[in-house]
Structure 1
């Protein structure tokens, strides 16, 4: 007998929705021995202007969830789960189908499916869609007991970025991430307008040499969008910027916990983060599906 389920689309999650998603996440993590990446800061701060979440119910019980995350201008990232007792009933496939419809309506080019590195079922689902394994990332957290025993002698200043820095922020994104000018502009404007995001510009004698973004939630600071100008790479500036940003997070933002993500193939960045006290907590694999 086919299981009867209902999928509900949301543009914003209520406190009850968040509570139920969190409970479902804990069940799935425990059963599968994984750590799902659900981007809780984004789930709790949906703008309410478009469909961003799909929730599957059986007799009023939440049994499935799929979050839609607009990270890049033409790309949507998906991450979700189904309760272990309700799998192999077509629930996740139907949520994915509806998410793909949303992406088509938005005229997006690409879907990225987030899969915990140790999840064989997630890997099998992605490969069944003929999605290709595009890249992997390590999620890293900084050890509280870490002490920097080699403080830098580099003279460098950090300041808050403003809209007047937009051109420089775009240039750095193009250098660091090969972003198009349009994507970089959209990315940085959104960050500048977001209440819980801080952009720090690193300067030497008022010349910008890098930037880093800090996203604040209840328990931690998440570093991202970190770029050092090409001419200053490999000279200790990255380490100085990161360590000064850690100090900023602890003293100004009053957050002792810091985290970040790094591509598994980026050996240089991985070494830098490890040298500043970050340790790998989990691996996430990203499968790319082009939208025809």
Structure 2
């Protein structure tokens, strides 16, 4: 039986985390799918497809859709693979989302998984995208960090929304995206109970930002950016270290960061502050 929903219950979320953990332990993978629809362009669109057999969750398809080019992740329990569960989940996804304006579908996977399943891409009729990401991890040992007097790291409040959105838009948006998209992204991150949004203030101005997803088994840091005029001055590493130290006081999770492989500078920064490579994330796109 397959259930489709736009929001997981606490019981479903717990079962999903257990399934993801089983798959990661078996496959030696590290990337956790996002278990919230907070950033999806349509909150009503089904974002989670759960395959149950005799009350046990054996398969999970998640949809990340901050625009009409959506990303899909499929997890199937190691003891129940090659039984058509992944195909059944994907067909259900296609049916349930047929009325939504989806432009393209990209599958998320990891290099280690492809290495162990070399025929996967051909069986699904997909090809690798040129863009890849490296995911890096770190344990929960605090940094020895000397406080800087010229800047302050704070949890963001709604009053900073526009300033954060301006910085986010400059750092991450392509030419097709508007400032309005960044405002929506920041507003939803502020509202999400599974997210924390940190800012770096200098003379009352937002010069840095870092978002943390708390929904998985790790503290996942993403959207780290420093205003262009302040780059190369140690502000990025100070922000990341401050966020890590703050979170260590509140939970015992390890940390993860993702960086695009062509962003050599950011990758070097994260390695310099003690993050080590865990995995390479690969995106598979449908031919044509």
> Aligned residue for 2:190?
192
Once residues 165 and 122 of structure 1 are traced to their aligned partners in structure 2, the CA distance between those partners, rounded to angstroms, is 46
Q: Which residue of the partner structure matches residue 10 of structure 1?
A: 5
What residue is the counterpart of 1:210 in the other structure?
208
Structure 1 unaligned residues grouped into runs of 5+: 1-5
Report the Cα offset of residue 233 of structure 1: 1.2
C-alpha RMSD over aligned residues: 3.3
Inter-CA distance 143–257: structure 2 relative to 1 (3 Å threshold): closer
Shift of 1:65: 2.3
The answer as to whether partners of 1:116 and 1:122 remain within 8 angstroms in 2 is: no
- 1:44-123 alignment to 2 at 5 Å? 49-58=44-53, 62-70=57-65, 72-84=66-78, 86-120=80-114
CA distance in 2, matches of 1:196, 1:12: 13
What is the alpha-carbon distance in structure 1 between the residues aligned to residue 217 and residue 78 of structure 2? 29
Closer/same/farther in 2, CA of residues 154 and 125 from structure 1, 3 Å limit: farther
Tell me what 1:169 maps to.
164
Equivalent pairs counted in the alignment come to: 280
What is the TM-score normalised by the length of structure 1? 0.79
Cα deviation 1:118-155 (Å, max 9, x = unaligned):
11366644454334424222222223447558x58672
Indicate how the Cα distance of structure 1 residues 204 and 193 shifts in structure 2: closer, same or farther if over 3 A, else same. Answer: same
Q: Which residue in the other structure is 2:221 paired with?
A: 223
- The change in CA–CA distance for 1:20 and 1:147 in structure 2 (over 3 A counts) is closer
CA gap 1:110/1:198 in 2 versus in 1, 3 angstroms: same
* TM-score where L is the length of structure 2: 0.80
The separation in 1 between residues aligned to 2:134 and 2:110, in whole angstroms, is 10
Structure 2: runs of 5 or more not aligned: none
Q: Which moved more, 1:9-18 or 1:168-177?
A: 9-18
Verify: 1:138 aligned to 2:106, yes or no. no
